[in-house]
Structure 1
Amino acid sequence: MSVVRADRAVLFEAHGSRFHSYVAPSRGSRQLCAWRLEVPAGLRGVPHRPTREEVLLVLTGELTATVDGSPATLGPGDVLVVPAGSEFAVDAGPVGCTAWVTTSPGLEAVLPDGTRLAPPWAA
């Protein structure tokens, strides 16, 4: 059994958000990546295209997720499935938000200019 204590999550910061990585190949997982995402109040996310499907569960606060031009507002307990290759961005509500994100190893984010980013929290 593998238990990852909260104080053992690896913290990364990017684009104004914080990523607390719990599960990734670099920490022994073969098939999953998972992290807690913290987006500060009012932050507008960077549009990108994930190369792997992602599942996002809102834990606290509110966010607006836009997938392929269609926005949806999510609150605690709501889940969003982001298809691989879709254009995706997360904007925080007035109090910010925290979400749990799960995907598979090999995730990359393709930015609007074509730059490919291999997020270290999923490596």
Structure 2
Amino acid sequence: MSTVIRRADARRTSTPNAVMTTFASPTQGASRQALWRVEMAAGASGPDHAMAGEQIWTVVSGAARVEVAGVAEELGPGDTLVVPADVPRRIHADPERGLEAVVTGPGADTASGPDREPVVPPWIA
């Protein structure tokens, strides 16, 4: 049986670095996966962190410089990046265009970083 999650049920979470809109997650009826949109303002940067599970990022608009395990990748519209589990990463939105991306990964996945205990970000719970 399928699950329909209506637009009105999308969940928005704001952080100092971005706004995440959750389209599907375990608490919204998805069994194991989460799907969300990331919107970062021009010049914003996310924290250094690693996720316990693999994530797939596709840039919808804008651009980003993504540092994965110390290697920088430039991403533009239509580019997709697969980030392995447990690998340090940091996302930097384009200084002029910002970034909008669609991301998927395991639901209830944990994020950890330097001097931070693992937590489940609310947009993937």
TM-score > 0.5 by shorter chain: yes
Q: 1:114 aligns with which of 113, 116, 125?
A: 116
Percent identical pairs in the alignment equals 32
**CA deviation vs aligned residue, 1:44-67 (integer Å, no higher than 9, x gap):** 221101011000000000011110
Alignment of 1:28-107 (within 5 A): 28-93=29-94, 94-107=96-109
* Structure 1: gaps (5+ residues): none
CA distance in structure 2 between the aligned counterparts of 1:120 and 1:78, rounded to whole angstroms = 26
* Structure 2: gaps (5+ residues): none
Runs of 4+ in 1 over 3 A off after TM superposition: 1-7
Shift of 1:105: 2.0
Shift of 1:14: 1.6
What is the aligned partner in structure 2 of residue 27 from structure 1? 28
Contact kept in structure 2, 1:52 and 1:106, CA below 8 Å:
no
SS at match of 2:37: strand
Contact kept in structure 2, 1:15 and 1:46, CA below 8 Å:
no
Task: Give the aligned CA root-mean-square deviation in angstroms.
Answer: 1.2
CA distance in structure 1 between the aligned counterparts of 2:22 and 2:99, rounded to whole angstroms = 16
